[in-house]
Structure 1
Amino acid sequence: MAASATPRTAEPERVAVAFSGGLDSTALLHVAARSGVQVFACHVHHGLQPQADDWALHCERVATELGAAFACEHLAGAPARGESVEAWARAGRHRALHDMATAAGADLLLLAHHRRDQAETFLLQALRGAGTAGLAGMPRAQWREGICWARPWLDQPREAILAYAEQHGLRWIEDPSNGDARYARNRLRQTLWPAFPTAEAALAQAARWAQQANELAEEVAAADLATLSGPERLDLAALARLSPARASNALRAWLAQHTAAPASLVGRLLTEWRPGGTLSWPAPGGALHAYRDGLFWAEAPGHAPAPAEIDLGRPGRFPQPGWRGSWLVEAATPGIAPARLARVVQRSRAGAEQFQRAPGSSPRSLKKACQEAGLPPWRRGGPLLFEANGQLVAVAGLGMDARAFAAKDEPQLAVRWLEDSALPQSEGDSEAGA
């Protein structure tokens, strides 16, 4: 889910609390219920323990006693092959909490993570070789799809929460899985804290330093990308002129806009590219292409749609979902007679097509025309528009074939192709005939 750290500007009228029924969330719900705002206790039924039904009933009773509304959502399905139970449960829990908070009309969701949770997160991320973003741990407040996820107790030791719960006679659930040494976080709790009782505060402080370092890196990357990148292209030649650390930082920020690139891919991009080189690297969800000293992202292509007849004989934007783009038709010159555009066939390249760039120029092979126009190889598959007699009318990325131009005294419509990624939001929301 998309996230940002924008702070809240007004006191909430409704607050949702992630309520598992354990010590921490029970104490947090108790505090929230005494604050005077309308509180919604949101419980996620993971279905992983035989006591899960009893826990949900316990949470509902406690919420009712405290005067809070109660919602419970069951997780469906099971972990995918090779997926950890922890990762599956975490992803499902996040979705469920967001949905319950949204349904309750609350844009503030409180979570009971405390200082030890933050210290454990920092250490586990370090053991995985994480960078500053991972070492920063959990943010104190973060907006995700209209909900502010807040952790007000992130600096509080667990002992303070326990003392509060005992002082107010609260009842909570003890999850037996918290003692299961198969889970990395539990192994830390069983071994690290008894051996190093002062480590919690030090590791939590290290996470705060990592947060600051990560925020600084993001600011530097944003400033660099303002001059290094456009809507689709990253200037590799300019990137190479930065210091290695700064180049890596900017590249990772640019990649994050398109794919979850592993650290190894960042290293390969920085070491394998040379000025003038044309290279490609597979990445999750697509591929990266170096072309004419620029870096481009391309989503993994699907199967090309079957040839189809379409009507482009009037102005408007005509989305072609199978091609991930739209034909934009406008009254302009030079252009093509509307009658000729009313029945055109759209298909992919078949080979041997020729394209004429301008009146009086010689037709060139489509490959040569693409090269001359600087159209990257991965964008040369189409779609193409043809008349019924096989005459080429237009090519995505190249424009209209000059042989199809109308006479000067005829009505004319100009046709051009827009990739989905190039559509501004206002234009992407409108269609021909709407």
Structure 2
Amino acid sequence: MTERRIAVACSGGRDSMALLHATVRQAAIDDVQVIALHVHHGLSPHADVWLEHVEAQCARWARRGLPIAFAAARIVERPARGDSVEAWARQARYRALRELAIAHGAEIVLLAHHRRDQAETFLLQALRGAGVTGLAGMPGRIMRDGIIWQRPWLERPRADIEAYARRHRLKYIDDDSNTDPRFARNRLRQTVWPALAGAFEQAEATLADSAAWAQQACAVLDEVAAHDLAQAAPERELIISRWVALSPARRGNALRVWLRRGLSTAAPASLIERLLAELPKARPARWPVPGGALRAYRDRLSFLPAAASPIARPRETSLSVQRVGRFSLPGWGGTLAVARVKEGGVPLAWLGRLELQPRVGGETFQAGAGRPPRSLKKQYQAAAIPDDERAGPLLYSGTQLVFVPGLGIDARVVGFPGQSLVSLAWLPDSSAR
């Protein structure tokens, strides 16, 4: 039988030490192994002391026969200039906790946030002008990146945790950075919260309740967005005309959820506002987003991943194709795929000596038998081929244009049934992979 394991994120402070102690006591009854996870940020001169404290406490409990082990990670990188230290530390901490949990076979990580933390989060988000998603605060349980993150004390008042720590005489460390007024949460705790709690005795409970209501509202909005996107974005692309047909409120909601799916994170409010204003009438157009760009072309909005910086290579100028298969052309950033077909293809004999040339202007392409040759620009526009799908070499046999990426085989070289015919397709490196 596989040993059951659960992890507890433990900084060494009062809340996390109390949660670790309570979890270990229950784990001894339920036959569960507990892994205490500690992240050493390296931001405080006391960080080594905190790590040693948690490790020593875990060792003492283990000597008493309690089912506990200790694991730690050190973060060696530092926040970039201009980064929020709070945000950077939080992201780095969760990445490290996830890696530790996976390395030690734990699928659940417990976090020690309580009701006061939730109330503070609600206030901070409101002061930052957050929408419903921000006001929802922290979820009690969520699956993210293959790990279940659970906050079992999220509905418990801070006073309960303080009483638990006193009752069991737990030793913990006070983080000196908790008094640093540069951090917004510290300013809230030191100056705003005492006055708020003095004027409104139930502030902690009522603000946490408001966060819970916001979570329910988020769930409803996600359901509405899922219904709207089933029509407006049945695949990965957003169909702009169907999206515009929604009411303004549902349009904004659907766009937020669609962007969150594509970006794997909440989109900046500035991007959403810009798209709501520009997207209904802007085509073609592009908007930069993390990891790439958004492209509006014809009636579609799609994500374009950022292209890796290619290594400069000389472009191939000739190619001999005497069989089916794939022919890599790294200088052009892609691969030519050649496949056997019974009709509609070019005779293989045409491909024995091909010249590869870039588009320079003035080229004409015949899209079908009996149709007049037209300029590549007009043919691309008629076929609705976006600019970034027009890259790749033009293939010539002598002076005759044979193949154009995005458009296909020129009708003037299409062979007859019974000949040895092949199809041609251009695969950019991202597609070839």
TM bucket by the smaller chain?
0.7 to 0.9
Q: For 1:43, which of 27, 38, 62 is the aligned residue?
A: 38
For the structure 1 residues 407 and 191, does the alpha-carbon distance in structure 2 shift closer, same or farther, using more than 3 Å as the test? same
Q: Is the 8 A contact 1:44 1:72 kept in 2?
A: yes
Q: Structure 1 counterpart of 2:268, which letter?
A: P
Output the CA distance in 2 between the equivalents of 1:215 and 1:319: 48
Output the CA distance in 1 between the equivalents of 2:56 and 2:192: 35
Q: For 2:268, which of 248, 262, 267 is the aligned residue?
A: 262
Larger Rg: 2
Output the CA distance in 2 between the equivalents of 1:348 and 1:39: 63
Q: Is the 8 A contact 2:39 2:73 kept in 1?
A: yes
Output the CA distance in 2 between the equivalents of 1:323 and 1:95: 38
Q: For 1:60, which of 55, 58, 64 is the aligned residue?
A: 55
User: Offset of 1:87 from its aligned partner?
Assistant: 1.6
For the structure 1 residues 153 and 371, does the alpha-carbon distance in structure 2 shift closer, same or farther, using more than 3 Å as the test? same
Worse-matched range after superposition: 304-313 or 293-302: 304-313
Worse-matched range after superposition: 226-235 or 99-108: 226-235
For the structure 1 residues 52 and 302, does the alpha-carbon distance in structure 2 shift closer, same or farther, using more than 3 Å as the test? closer
User: Offset of 1:330 from its aligned partner?
Assistant: 3.8
Alignment correspondent of 1:7:
none
Question: For 1:369-420, what per-residue CA distance to the aligned partner results, in whole angstroms no more than 9, with x for missing partners?
Answer: 110101234433x123525757544334323333443443233332335678
Q: For 1:395, which of 404, 408, 418 is the aligned residue?
A: 404
Alignment correspondent of 1:281:
287
For the structure 1 residues 53 and 176, does the alpha-carbon distance in structure 2 shift closer, same or farther, using more than 3 Å as the test? same
Q: For 1:295, which of 285, 293, 301 is the aligned residue?
A: 301
List aligned pairs for 1:163-182, cutoff 5 A.
163-182=163-182
Alignment correspondent of 1:152:
152
Q: For 1:335, which of 345, 351, 354 is the aligned residue?
A: 345
CA RMSD across the alignment: 3.1
Worse-matched range after superposition: 170-179 or 319-328: 319-328
Unaligned 5+ runs, structure 1: 1-10
Q: Is the 8 A contact 2:351 2:397 kept in 1?
A: no
Normalised TM-score (structure 1): 0.84
Question: For 1:246-299, what per-residue CA distance to the aligned partner results, in whole angstroms no more than 9, with x for missing partners?
Answer: 111112222223346432332333333456854443444443343333333334
Worse-matched range after superposition: 108-117 or 252-261: 252-261
User: Offset of 1:342 from its aligned partner?
Assistant: 8.0
Normalised TM-score (structure 2): 0.84
User: Offset of 1:331 from its aligned partner?
Assistant: 3.1
Alignment correspondent of 1:140:
140
Unaligned 5+ runs, structure 2: 63-67
Output the CA distance in 1 between the equivalents of 2:138 and 2:330: 38
Alignment correspondent of 2:162:
162
Question: Is 2:206 the counterpart of 1:202?
Answer: yes
The total of aligned residue pairs comes to 413
Q: Is the 8 A contact 1:26 1:172 kept in 2?
A: yes
For the structure 1 residues 209 and 322, does the alpha-carbon distance in structure 2 shift closer, same or farther, using more than 3 Å as the test? farther
Question: Is 2:393 the counterpart of 1:384?
Answer: yes
Output the CA distance in 2 between the equivalents of 1:364 and 1:104: 64
Alignment correspondent of 1:75:
75
Give percent identity, aligned residues only: 51
Worse-matched range after superposition: 356-365 or 113-122: 356-365
List aligned pairs for 1:316-395, cutoff 5 A.
329-332=338-341, 333-337=343-347, 349-380=359-390, 382-387=391-396, 389=398, 392-395=401-404
List aligned pairs for 1:213-228, cutoff 5 A.
213-228=217-232
Q: Structure 2 counterpart of 1:263, which letter?
A: A
Q: Structure 2 counterpart of 1:242, which letter?
A: L
Output the CA distance in 1 between the equivalents of 2:331 and 2:32: 49
Q: Is the 8 A contact 2:354 2:398 kept in 1?
A: no
User: Offset of 1:129 from its aligned partner?
Assistant: 1.4
